[in-house]
Amino acid sequence: MVFFRKKRDMPDGLWMRCDGCKNLVYKKNVEERMHVCPECNYHFRIFSRDRLNLLLDENSLEEMWANMQSCDPLNFKDRVTYPETGLKEAAIVGKGKINGKEVMIGITDPSFIMGSMGSVVGEKITRITEKASELKLPLILISGSGGGARMHEGVFSLMQMAKTSAAIAKFREAGGLYISILTDPSLGGVMASFASQADIIIAEPKALIGFAGPRVIQETIKRTLPSGFQTAEFLLEHGFLDMIVHRQDMRKEISRLIDYLQ
């Protein structure tokens, strides 16, 4: 006679597969480590609101221009329309505090059409930069944009690269401190404009950073790319980044930089 042990049901949502090491990891452990794998330190992508909560002092964010929305001039049809994303836009900006220090802060969110830069993203980044200059506060911009200039808005998107770059240049000429934080992924028009123009450029471990993605580059040049190409570690080695900072240390490191540089 053969006996089979009854399989126990596993409640949904207790375990998740890590995109880094491919192991099954206990979801609660990942959440307790700020959405970082306890096995390999892989940094999971997180929503912009969650990232702001991790970085800023509790309840310190004073969001600005929250209701600003694109007019969607081309009525562009993609896999999802603007309203179907559940967000008003791909950028959140405002004033907050890090260990009691006031900062102007902005973040792009890949949940809205991969964080691509449309007219509202460009306008918000420009406005928060000008506000940082006016109030003489440090500027912190966090990039999580896998898209470039948003094709949904045509030339209105393309001009945002020049507009944000001009605003950053003016801010730096006035002596402002600008810190750019690159998360996974940071690509396209965002990286070709404001995200790469900071006094200090920081990245999370193993973040994908560049203009075009590695697959597009490899197919274009018909050559095998170096190992680790376009990862944060590769870019740090080649002088593009100033430092790589673990998510759990980001708040402390930003506070230290402000104390030292401001």
Within 8 A by CB and 6+ apart from 161, the residues are 117, 122, 149, 189, 192, 193
Q: Give the pLDDT of residue 11.
A: 53
Q: DSSP letter at 84?
A: G
Phi, psi angle pair for 138, to nearest 5°: -60, 145
Q: Give the pLDDT of residue 213.
A: 79
- According to DSSP H, which parts of 73-222 are helical? 119-135, 155-173, 188-191, 214-221
Helical (H) or strand (E) element with 26: strand 24-26
Strands, E assignment, 49-189: 62-64, 91-98, 101-108, 139-143, 178-182
38-65: burial string, b at 16+ Cβ within 10 Å, e else: eeebbbbbbebeebbeebbeeebbeebb
Nearest in space to 118 (alpha carbons), one of 174, 73, 54:
73
pTM attached to this predicted model: 0.89
Angle between helices 48-55 and 250-261 (to 10 degrees): 60
Q: Give the pLDDT of residue 109.
A: 81
Alpha carbons 247 and 34: distance in angstroms, whole number: 7
Measured at the CA of 164, the angle between CA 261 and CA 114, to 5 degrees, comes to 100
pLDDT in tens, the chain (262 residues): 554 455 555 456 789 999 889 999 999 999 999 999 999 999 998 888 999 999 999 999 999 999 998 777 777 767 777 777 777 788 999 999 999 999 999 998 877 777 778 889 999 999 999 999 999 999 999 998 766 778 778 888 889 999 999 999 999 999 999 999 999 988 888 888 999 999 999 999 999 998 887 888 888 888 888 888 899 999 999 999 999 999 999 999 999 999 999 8
Domains delineated in the chain: 14-44 (no CATH), 46-261 (3.90.226.10)
